[in-house]
Amino acid sequence: MSIVVTGATGQLGRLVIDALLDAVPAERLAAVVRDKEKAADLADRGVELRIADYSRPETLAGAFEAGDRVLLISGSEVGQRVPQHAAVIDAAKAAGVAQLAYTGVLGGDAADFSLADEHKETERLILASGLPYTLLRNGWYSENYTANLAPVLAHGAVVSNAGEGRIASASRADYAAAAAAVVAGPLDEHLGKAYELSGDTAWSFAEYAAEVAAQSGREVVHSAVSAEAHLAILTGAGVPAVFAEILVDVDRAAEHGALALRTGDLSRLIGRPTTPIAESIKEALAATAA
């Protein structure tokens, strides 16, 4: 029996592998990856590589074995994720895995923004499959915002159409630690559970801008705009229209509280407080300066 992580060379996947290597021997781990060369460093650390592609169902036939505990990290190709995830679910069921954990989105069926649609459909497929499951409904990564600090500092503004809405974000490493705890911990504690994962503290964009200003020593303000104006700004900056619409829709969801849900599930799973947004800003500013 192995702990199997799909999408293991992605940003979240690598952090999950790191967390698992701190908890279990490398010989218990397997990484499902598309590119063997890209995963060479994982193999060097003793992790078994299983080569497969979400978009090529035939390659998934040997990706899982009976009794495996599998973490399905959601695909990154918006619009393609349901058939990709369905292929993984089918392969996991055929193999007879002991657990299928899935990284979905905060709120589950109650999430009313477009980015959640594929996650909700994937959860339905998992439940219909009859597989033993754990649903990891991830909230927003702080890095979704801190990765964009260079233009924020250049323009002196954080632009959003979220108004005074709040976001209970956490670091990507926090979510990775929770996923590792679920697939490496006692099986009976996590089967049939849906965890709503988010940061311990919710912040507003005005507070975020003030923290960036305080740490950088630069003038940074929150520029609150309409959804239409935000869409125009994003597309004018070269963001593809489909992704710009998603970002604007997420801000709309934040405005009415959809991203502020806090249950404490994340900090309980990882056994410590979640990473404060101020710490994520500090790390990002150091990286930007470097």
Q: How far apart are CA 19 and CA 173, in angstroms?
A: 9
Domains along the sequence of the chain with CATH: 3-138+172-197 (3.40.50.720), 144-166+200-261+271-289 (3.90.25.10)
Q: Which pLDDT does position 80 carry in this prediction?
A: 83
Asked whether 156 and 248 are in contact (CB, 8 A), the reply is no
Selection from 72, 77, 76 nearest residue 122 by Cα: 72
Gyration radius of the chain's alpha carbons: 19
pTM: 0.96
What phi-psi label fits residue 243: left (phi over 0), alpha (psi between -120 and 50 degrees) or beta?
Answer: alpha
pLDDT at 123: 97
Contacts of 100 (CB under 8 A, 6+ apart): 70, 72, 89, 92, 126, 129, 131, 132, 133, 134
Q: Which pLDDT score, from 0 to 100, does residue 256 have?
A: 93
Mean pLDDT, consecutive 10-residue stretches, the chain (290 aa), reads 94 97 96 93 96 91 95 86 94 97 95 92 97 97 94 95 97 98 96 98 98 97 97 94 94 95 97 98 90
Per-residue pLDDT at 75: 84
